[in-house]
Amino acid sequence: MRRLKLNALIEEQDIFELVEPTTALSDVVLNKKTQQTLENLMRQVDKEVIGRLVDWGIKDKKSGIDARIIFYGAAGTGKTMTAYSLAKSLKRQVLAFDCSKILSMYVGESEKNVRKIFDTFYDLCEKTKSEPILLLNEADQFLSSRSSGISSSADQMHNQMQNIFLEQIEKFKGMLIATTNLLENIDKAFSRRFNYKIEFKKPDQTQRLELWGKMLPKEAPYEEGFDAKELATYALTGGQIHLIIKNTAYKVAVRETPIFSVKDFIDEISREKDASFDNEKSMGFLNK
């Protein structure tokens, strides 16, 4: 009933995308440390734990689960996927906002736009009496270091927008996840206001083998002796592996005898590498 309502209301606005998560945390391949932090987080937002804190008078009865979380790390390391998976574990829907949209909005209005994101979010929660997770995807421009000293008017405007964002974060009630590629340049003021900052690292060879294992189509025909071990030697992120598998599948599917070989994937890996203008990315491919 509640879900239907949010699904219907979502049509009336163009800020958020409503996501019904389908992947579970067990689908995500992460290093030990990231995994442990996530497990910790899950425990803290556990209803039973919250109940105890309320009983002990430590936590306000009315307020639900509060958590402000940053997922940071390189592109394609699974930040967005993990946010969805976390939501699934908590049986929550996700209202996702693509932060790059803010830039395309009229600059002078961006402070207003930031307020609008949060107001719309609260409005949707109130009307549907549900507690979706607020996901701010690619929040780099919100979280980046604010410039100080003499600056251009564009900089000042940007600072103002960030200040509004900071204010909104400060009083935010509920669960918010911001994802970013920034590593070092997260503004300290923001950093302090998020209670979890979780790093997503590029997968090592063992994790890559696991990624290939999870992502290779199960119902497909493979050449005799097919082994993903060699594929795992290529320094790719989960996002890149995902893309390569998809491209290879398209290539193989049109063949008369559609059988996957290791070489098919390696060809696709080098094609990707050649097509990539991103220096760091192509170096990643060569780092065997």
Ligand X SMILES: Nc1ncnc2c1ncn2[C@@H]1O[C@H](COP(=O)(O)OP(=O)(O)OP(=O)(O)O)[C@@H](O)[C@H]1O
String marking each residue 44-83 x if it binds ligand X according to CB under 6 A? -------------------------------xxxxxxx--
The token pair that represents 105 in the structure block: 């909005």
The distance of closest approach from Cβ of residue 79 to Mg ion in the complex, given in angstroms and rounded to an integer, is 5
Looking only at the bridges linking them, the beta strands covering 94-98 and 17-19 are antiparallel
Phi, psi of 78 (to 5 degrees): 100, 20
HSE, CB side, 13 Å, CA atoms: give it for residue 151: 12
The token pair that represents 200 in the structure block: 């997503």
Is residue 80 part of the contact set for Mg ion (CB under 5 A)? yes
Question: Tokens 């992120």 map to which residue?
Answer: 237
Of the candidates 29, 114, 143, 177, which one interacts with ligand X according to CB under 6 A? 29
Pick one of ligand X, Mg ion, none as the site partner of residue 284 (Cβ within 5 to 8 A by kind): none
Residues in the chain: 288
String marking each residue 60-79 x if it binds Mg ion according to CB under 5 A? -------------------x
- Report the greatest alpha carbon distance in the chain: 69
Task: Indicate the residue whose CB is closest to ligand X.
Answer: 238
Of the candidates 242, 251, 273, 281, which one interacts with ligand X according to CB under 6 A? 242
Pick one of Mg ion, ligand X, none as the site partner of residue 239 (Cβ within 5 to 8 A by kind): ligand X
Instruction: State the virtual CA torsion across 236, 238, 242, 245 in degrees, nearest 10.
Output: 40
Looking only at the bridges linking them, the beta strands covering 133-137 and 94-98 are parallel
Residue 115 or 197 with smaller CB distance to ligand X: 197
Residue 82 or 128 with smaller CB distance to Mg ion: 82
Residue 84 or 128 with smaller CB distance to ligand X: 84
Is residue 28 part of the contact set for ligand X (CB under 6 A)? yes
